[in-house]
Amino acid sequence: MELTDGAEAVGMARTRRDGNDAVIITWGTMVGPSLAAAEALSAEQLDVGVLDLRWLNPLAEKAIVDAVTAAKGKVLIVHEAVRTGGFAAEIAMRIRELVPEMDVRISRLTTPDVRMPSSPVLQKALLPNAQTIAEAVRAIGG
């Protein structure tokens, strides 16, 4: 399929950064903070990849498997929605189903299970950021 004007094919993911020590799987507004966290972790000699899913349905399963395999099963899924019922759980389960033979360490970083406040200052306090993402990667052994 030939695409023009910057259009992307449906169901594709974009590897924003390659990494062998861990991978952050994310999308949307969490891509920027995830890239910042990966860059900060590189100063600690950690090679952390960032996979931008671009689409949640259909899910880019091959890209996920490739990223998880490259990161030796160390995965952090980051999104800005609440934890309970969030899409990170679906991705984690898909990883388990797609690479059942691999010993994976999957964690997720989300907003807490609270109502999002209307104040931008309070919203910022709840959302994952580069610092909390880097901490979560360290916690999975990345």
pLDDT tens sequence across 89-136: 999 999 999 999 999 999 999 999 999 999 999 999 999 999 999 999
* E-state strands within 72-126: 74-82, 105-111
Q: Say how many C-beta atoms besides its own lie within 10 A of residue 96's C-beta.
A: 12
Compute the residue count for the chain. Answer: 142
What CATH number does domain 14-139 carry, 3.40.50.920, 2.10.260.10, 3.40.50.300, 2.60.40.10? 3.40.50.920
Using omega within 30 degrees of 0 as the cis cutoff, is the peptide bond preceding 128 cis? Answer: no
List pLDDT tens digits, range 83-101.
999 999 999 999 999 999 9
Query: 70 is written with which tokens?
Result: 């490259």
Beta strand ranges found along 22-63 (DSSP E) = 22-26, 48-52
6 to 21, 50, 52, 55, 116: CA distances (angstroms): 31, 21, 16, 15, 33
CA atoms within a 13 Å half-sphere pointing along the CA-CB vector of 102: 20
From residue 19, alpha-carbon distances to 7, 12, 81, 105 in Å are 26, 19, 25, 15
pLDDT tens for each residue of 67-82: 999 999 999 999 999 9
What's the token pair of residue 95?
């990883």
Q: Which of 142, 133, 128 is nearest to 83 (CA)?
A: 128
pLDDT tens by residue, 21-33:
999 999 999 999 9
pLDDT at site 96? 96
Q: Where are the domains of the chain?
A: 14-139
